[in-house]
Structures are given as structure tokens and as C-alpha cells.
Structure 1
Amino acid sequence: MTVKQAIGKLHLWLGLSSGLVVFIVSLTGAIFTFQDEIRDVTEPWRTVEAQASMPMLLPSRLQTAALAKHPGVAKASTWVTYFGPERSATVFFTSPAGTPTQVYLNPYTGRVLHELDLSRHFFTIVQEIHMTLLLPEAVAKWVVGGSVVIFLVLLGTGLALWWPKRKQERKQRLTIKWGSRWRRLNYDLHNVLGFYIASLAGVLALTGLFMLFPVLLDATMLVANGGRTYPQEKVVAKVDTLQAVTAAALPLPDLIYRTVRRRSPQAEMVLLGPTGTGKDPAYCWAYQRALHYYHRDEYAFHPVSGQVLQARFHAGKSNGMKLGDMNYDLHTGQILGLGGKIVAFLVSLLAASLPVTGTLLWWGRRNKKPKARAHVPAAASPRAPAASVRAGVR
């Protein structure tokens, strides 16, 4: 068995073993890519009319309005997000019954626009399938992660099998013969499209793995930093519970919101985490662009006094940490705006097609009908004497 034959066997069996998972993960990824654009069209409560002369309400006001029908939910357990001047604000919480709920409010008036049960939302289900296949998280991490690793190996072995030996074969390997028979067309769709999307599909696969296995992202960040470490970026804010502090004069979410707005005035989107029980810091993130998660400032506050315990600004982050912050936007393609999302959608869709065309390719070869052999008269046999052949012709 030659090296190329061995690579072919490896490619075949790895593809058959992981094909179904790769198909599902890639297809759901393609569907999820335009979830913001689709929801903006189908869910009118996501947008509001901007009010330049009217300030947005403080978080405590939004929490009160959102929880009016949910008296069993504590304000300190909610997540409050301001998405920008032309978008509604949201308050997220888990109800006493365990239902993940998101309430959309007009940030200028506090009017409740819509209440959404996220457990039944289409894109929530799609995202859950994409990330876990609806399996328990501990199992899904290895099933999905293992299949994505195999997919990366398949991209490498596929390129090795595709690579032409002679220059004159390159044009043939780069074009699809649309008018050919279905087996040939399927062969071209698998090999040619696989070659074209290999590099971008690899980026999507790697960024997905970084979410499943943060240790891989840490290693990549170290490489991006040229092997240099930044200890200050590893420091985690802590609350000194033995220190006597004075409670904040304002409700804690309001104090945090005002501080972040003052220190990160350019931020369009502000996300306030739960204010906790008094033992853990309260966190807040300020994003430069709404619905984009790359360029962000990060804050940690004392859960009683509201004092800033830690502030990490985007401009002061290392290249590695910036790359880590960029990971989600790279995975979804939105790092490059609408054009990037279109590319991510097409690459995900074509990646979903590879297990299908690969399986058809294997099935076609496995069930290929042998060609009927033409009957050759004995007189015409290559072993017959020449004189006998000539006699037969006469």
C-alpha cells in the first residue's frame, strides 16, 4: 500500500465516522449565521426609535418594569443589556420554574415590548444543536469536539489527495464538469469545493474548538504574543469580605452603569451581569459596536460599595487577548460585517455538503456495477497462432 492509498483509507474511515456530526454542526452553523438579520425582520420588538434628546433609563428602572410580572425573581440575578440608541434593551433571568426568559423594553420609556421564552425560540434551539447536539454538556463536548478535530484532519488529508502530481492537471482539479455524469459531478463537488473552502472552513473549525476547549485558545494567544506572557491579564478580581465598606448611595446596577458610560463613552452596547450575593465581584462589559463582541472594555466592581476593582481596556490588551476577544466574531464571520457573514454562511453550507458527497462517492464505488466483458472468439485470442487468426478472418 502506497502512502497516498493509506491517506485515502484514513480519509475515508474518518469521514464516515464523523460525517453525520459534521453535517449537523455545519448546517446549523449556516442557519445561525444570519440570526440577527432574520430576527430584526421578524421580531419588531428588537428595535425602537432613537431619542436623541432623551437619556436611557437606568438599569434598576428596567429591572423593575421587567420583573413586575415575576415577583419571585431577584433583581440581583438578572442580566441587563443596552444594545444601542435604535435597539431595545433587554433584561434576562431564569424564572423560578427554570425558564430562561428575556424581556425586551424601550430603554427610553421602560415600556415592556415583548417577553420571550428562550427555551422555545427557534434560534436558541439551533444554537443548542450546533453546540451540543442536544446531548448532555459533558458528553457533547467530546462528541462535537472530537468530530471537529477529525474534520480538521479530513481537510488536511483531503488536500493531500487532491494535490495534482503534474502541473497540467491543476486546471482539471480546480473546475467542476457540470455536464458530466452524476458520479463524476459528485466527485468534482467533493474535491473541488473541498479545496476552495479548506482554509476558511479550518478557521471556523478552530474558532469553534477554542470555545469548547479554552486551553487551545490560551495556547493560540501565547503564540500570538510571540511566547511572551502578560501576568496582569491573568489576574482575577477578588472581593475582600473582611474589609468594611460603605454601601453605594445609588442602586448598584445604576452606579455601575453610570461609571461604565463615563469611562467607556464610545461603547454602543453595555452588558451588566448579576450583582451577586456580596461575595463575588459584579461584572460589566462595554462593547464598541452593538452585536459585535470583539472590541470591548471589561470592568469588575465591588458588590457592596460599587468601587471599581478592575478595569481592562481594549487598547491596553495584548495581541493574544485581542485575538481571544475576536474569536466569536471570527467564528460567525461578523468580524468583517455582512460580507464576512455571507462568506461564513457559504463556507458552512459547503462544509455540510462534504460528508454527503463523500458518502455518495464511497457508496458509488462500493456498488459500482462491473462492466460487461465483450465475447472474444477463440480464434481471435491473443494466444492463438497467427495463421489460425488469418484463417478465421477469411
Structure 2
Amino acid sequence: MAVRLGHTIKAVLFQVHSVAGLVLALLLSLIALTGAIMSFEDEIVDHLNAGIMQVAPRQAPPLMPDELVARLIAAQDLGKVAAVTLSSDPSAAVHVRFGRDEQGGWPASLYVDPYDAHVLGSPRGEAFFATVRRLHRWLLIPGDRKGWGRPITGTIALGLIVMLVTGLVLRWPRRAGSVKMWLKPNLALGGRALQRSLHTVIGTWVLPVYLAMTLTGLYFSFEWYKDGVTWLLVRPHVTAAKMPAKSPRAANSEPVRPIGFDQAWTTFQREEGDRFSKALLTLPAQGTTLRIRSWGKASLLETTRDEFRIDTVTGQLVSAERFADKTFGEKVIAAIYDIHRGEILGWPGKLVFMIVAITMPLFLVTGILLYLSRRRLRRPAQPPLGRLVPGE
């Protein structure tokens, strides 16, 4: 009875694995390949634009952000500036980003000379990687993160978890001596046997990486998942970590003056001194509180950053979150994106994650071939014509 029950359970799991694979394999391959393309995006973009990201340092101090933006807009018909990236390196250009245009698109960003606001050029590769990113995250479905693409990719990720778990259960070795066979593909085989060996053995190799990618990717797909991870890792700090949507000044009846970067930038420089390497200043969509993300000179990861919120009118420091002061759980949450792409392990980790992502189409091809071969084997054979007699 127990043996029969075990066979029944495995048969059900096999059907679940097969159906999920046939339905999701093409989209999973698309998401995986676009993720692989973005693995070394920063390095590629920096290499392509090395000529416009540096300037000759001068004795004169660089322009304050508001004056730089004013000169830039006066010289060209540009959209509304949304963010600027400033550096402590006197030879680094300022990176200026713009808000959405009237058509809802994102204008190309610009690199600007920090000393005279001279435009150095738009970064090559930016539009390409922006499209790849939208395809990876939202399948190019309108609305971006607010549209249907976000829950759809999240559902696909849940489907991949089902495939990984069912595949692992179906493959679990019955005897300890079979572990070597479990992890070593038999390349001497041919046809359906080789397809099955590649599908199962390589799938076992890459399973931990796929699981890491999927569990961290879900953090960006579903609010309920994000809230659950946050509650699990930083329970006492959940309420304190949430920032107010508006600064205190935005709630009163005083007229709001035009906001800019200078007051916040001055406060930030006073707080940080020369400890930062670069800082991203983002104007608020509403209210007067500007967000500044800064990276230290020894920072190697995107997530090892400090974050400040400063009132743009008064220059008052609203909040400061320093990476060094975070709890272990908060650091894990901050590093989710770096875990997702393997960067938490440095460039070797990114390379491994990229290679693993590239293997996803292998499971699409071998899975379809195995499905078609099973259908052929199940098809009843036609009786030979020579054995038929009249009337049959």
C-alpha cells in the first residue's frame, strides 16, 4: 500500500512538474536571458561611456547643483530634472536624470561638466538596458511596476519554485551510492536518454542558484511577500523603518516655495564631509523632502549605502539611515537585489549567476523533447496491414 501511494504521489508531482514546465518554460527563458544580459550592465555601460564620465579637474570649485541645473536648462530645451549624481572625485562628471515626458517616456540622461554645466553626452547603452530591464521585470506590459507585468512575473516565479521542488523530490536518490550518478550526466547516452540526463542532472546543479534568484525576485513582485520578509527579518524595526510620505512642512497651509538641491546638498556635505564617493540626489514627487543615497569610498556593492532625507526648504535633516548601523536582518533586506544577481559574491558570483541564467533555455528544449517522446511512446501502435482480413 505504501509503495503504491508513493508511486501515486510521484505520478502527481510528475504531472505538476510537466504542466508547469510546458506552460511557463518560454517566459522563464525570456526572463532568465534578460537577467543574464543585465548581469554586467554597470561594467558595460561604464566601458562604453568612459569618454564622457570624466573631466579635467580644475582649481575652481564645482558648481552648486541648482546653478548647474539652471545653466543646463537655459542652454537646452530639456525636461524637468528629477535626480543628479554628484561625486567627491573632482574628475567625475555629474549624471543628470530627467522625469517622465508628456508621453510617459523617460528622456535620455546626460553627463555634465561639474565646473561649467557643459553637456558631455548621453550614455550609450542606457536605452537598451532600460528596455531589457522592463522586459525582465514587467514583460514590457504598460504600467511598469504599477501594471499587470509585476504580478505576472511574480506568478511565473512561483511556478518556477513549484518546478524546482517537484523536480528535486522526483530526483531524490533512493540509495546513498546513487548520489554520484545523480550529479554526473551520462554523455555516452543518446536520444531520449541523453535529453533526460541533461535535463535532470544539470537541473540539480543549478537548483540552488535558481532558488536564490526566485526567492529574492519575489521580493520585488508582491507586496505581501515583501511585507512578510520584512516582518521575519526586522520585526522590532518595521514601523520605524517606514518613512513618512510627506515632510512636516507639506502638511501645513504655508505656500510651498520652489524646491531645489542646494539646501539638502549643503546639509549632506556637513554631515558626511569627505567620507562619500558618490551621492544620488532625488527630488520628491510631492512634499519637500529630498532623498540622498550615498556610497562610501570603500563601498563595493550597490546595497552598502547610506540614505538621508533632508528638507529642501530648511535644510533640516529629517532622517539618516547608515548601512553600518543596520541590524543583520536589515542588511539582508538591503542586500536582496545584490543576492538576486549574485553580486553579493563579487564578480565571480555575478558570472556564475549569469551562466546559470543562460542555461534556462536548455530545460525548455529538453523538456519539450521529453514530452514529445513520451507522447510517441504512449501512442498505440497500428496493427500491420498484412494481418488484416476482410471484414475486420
Instruction: Give TM-score scaled by structure 2 length.
Output: 0.82
Alignment map for 1:4-83 (pairs within 5 Å): 4-45=10-51, 47-48=53-54, 51=57, 56-71=62-77, 73-74=79-80, 77-82=81-86
SS in 2 for 1:82: strand
Is residue 232 of structure 2 the alignment partner of residue 223 of structure 1?
A: yes
Q: From the superposition, tell whether residues 144 and 304 of structure 1 become closer, same or farther in structure 2 (CA, over 3 Å).
A: same
Tell me the equivalent position of 2:117.
Answer: 110
Is residue 219 of structure 2 the alignment partner of residue 210 of structure 1?
A: yes
Q: From the superposition, tell whether residues 306 and 362 of structure 1 become closer, same or farther in structure 2 (CA, over 3 Å).
A: same
Tell me the equivalent position of 1:255.
Answer: 263
Matches of 2:52 and 2:223 in 1, distance apart?
A: 32
Is residue 364 of structure 2 the alignment partner of residue 355 of structure 1?
A: yes
Shift of 1:371: 12
Shift of 1:60: 2.0
Tell me the equivalent position of 2:355.
Answer: 346
Q: Is the 8 A contact 1:217 1:324 kept in 2?
A: no
The amino acid across from 1:362 in the alignment is Y
Q: Residue 154 of structure 2: which of 145, 157, 177 is its match?
A: 145
Q: From the superposition, tell whether residues 64 and 367 of structure 1 become closer, same or farther in structure 2 (CA, over 3 Å).
A: farther
Report the more deviating stretch, 174-183 or 24-33: 174-183
* Max Rg structure: 1
Q: From the superposition, tell whether residues 272 and 223 of structure 1 become closer, same or farther in structure 2 (CA, over 3 Å).
A: same
Matches of 1:83 and 1:351 in 2, distance apart?
A: 39
Q: Give percent identity, aligned residues only.
A: 27
Matches of 1:136 and 1:364 in 2, distance apart?
A: 39
Shift of 1:362: 1.3
Q: Is the 8 A contact 2:195 2:366 kept in 1?
A: yes
Shift of 1:97: 5.2
Q: Residue 326 of structure 2: which of 309, 317, 338 is its match?
A: 317
Q: Deviations over 1:357-388 (max 9, x none)?
A: 2222212222349899xx9xxxxxxxxxxxxx
Q: Is the 8 A contact 2:301 2:338 kept in 1?
A: yes
SS in 1 for 2:187: coil
Tell me the equivalent position of 1:366.
Answer: 375
Q: Deviations over 1:141-185 (max 9, x none)?
A: 222111110101111111111111122221111111223213222
Tell me the equivalent position of 1:378.
Answer: none
Tell me the equivalent position of 1:298.
Answer: 307
Q: Residue 242 of structure 1: which of 252, 276, 279 is its match?
A: 252
Is residue 198 of structure 2 the alignment partner of residue 186 of structure 1?
A: no
Show structure 1 runs of 5+ residues with no match.
376-394
Shift of 1:202: 0.8
Shift of 1:117: 9.2
Is residue 335 of structure 2 the alignment partner of residue 329 of structure 1?
A: no
Q: Deviations over 1:4-59 (max 9, x none)?
A: 11111111111111111111101110111111222223333453157496754432
Tell me the equivalent position of 1:385.
Answer: none
Tell me the equivalent position of 2:93.
Answer: 88
Q: Please report the RMSD computed on the Cα atoms of aligned residues, expressed in angstroms.
A: 3.2
Q: From the superposition, tell whether residues 262 and 354 of structure 1 become closer, same or farther in structure 2 (CA, over 3 Å).
A: farther
Is residue 179 of structure 2 the alignment partner of residue 170 of structure 1?
A: yes
Q: From the superposition, tell whether residues 165 and 281 of structure 1 become closer, same or farther in structure 2 (CA, over 3 Å).
A: same
Instruction: Give TM-score scaled by structure 1 length.
Output: 0.82
The amino acid across from 2:10 in the alignment is K
The amino acid across from 1:167 in the alignment is A
Q: Is the 8 A contact 1:194 1:351 kept in 2?
A: no
Q: From the superposition, tell whether residues 232 and 245 of structure 1 become closer, same or farther in structure 2 (CA, over 3 Å).
A: farther
Shift of 1:195: 0.8
Tell me the equivalent position of 2:278.
Answer: 269
Shift of 1:66: 3.7
